[in-house]
Amino acid sequence: MANVLAEILLVEDNPADIEMTMRAFEKARFRNKIHSVRDGDEALDFLYKRGGYEDAVTPDIILLDLNMPKTDGKEVLADIKAHTELKRIPVIIMTSSESDQDVLQSYDLHANCYIVKPVDARKFFDIVNRVENFWVDIVVLPSKVEQ
């Protein structure tokens, strides 16, 4: 099996969006490992390696929905960007919210980009493919740099 290019954490509560995202990554045939959690509490457990996620990897990229049960995406983003060891992980907001306030708050909390998820499946696949192309093929991720 080929080496994994990137470890990606998908934080999404909508089962249909999880399925579409996973299929889009599979269709693109990149050698990435996708880990999925369904709410902000699970995301923080995964990132802090607790609550059943003690063996979790530190992701190279986080795809984060904003509107989730329990701890919402903004709270997760604020926590990540305030933590010394996690703050360098690129966080890509992928949400259905087109609210100007959500966009500005996300960038104020140091999101790396903000993407509004399209309803159309074909457009959704295209966006996931572009995200993956950019963040895995073009960008030098902090996790890939010797410290």
Taking the C-alpha atoms of residue 127 and residue 141, their distance in angstroms, rounded to an integer, is: 19
User: In terms of Cα–Cα distance, which of 25, 1, 20 is closest to 136?
Assistant: 25
- pLDDT band per the 50, 70, 90 thresholds, residue 54: very high
Q: Which tokens is 20 given?
A: 């579409």
pLDDT of residue 3: 55
Taking the C-alpha atoms of residue 71 and residue 68, their distance in angstroms, rounded to an integer, is: 7
User: In terms of Cα–Cα distance, which of 91, 116, 121, 133 is closest to 23?
Assistant: 121
Give backbone dihedrals phi and psi of 25, rounded to 5 degrees, phi first.
Answer: -65, -40
Which residue shows structure tokens 């074909």?
122
The model's pLDDT over 90-109, given as tens digits with 9 standing for 90+, comes to 999 999 999 999 999 999 99
User: In terms of Cα–Cα distance, which of 100, 133, 98 is closest to 115?
Assistant: 98
pLDDT exceeds 50 at position 1: no
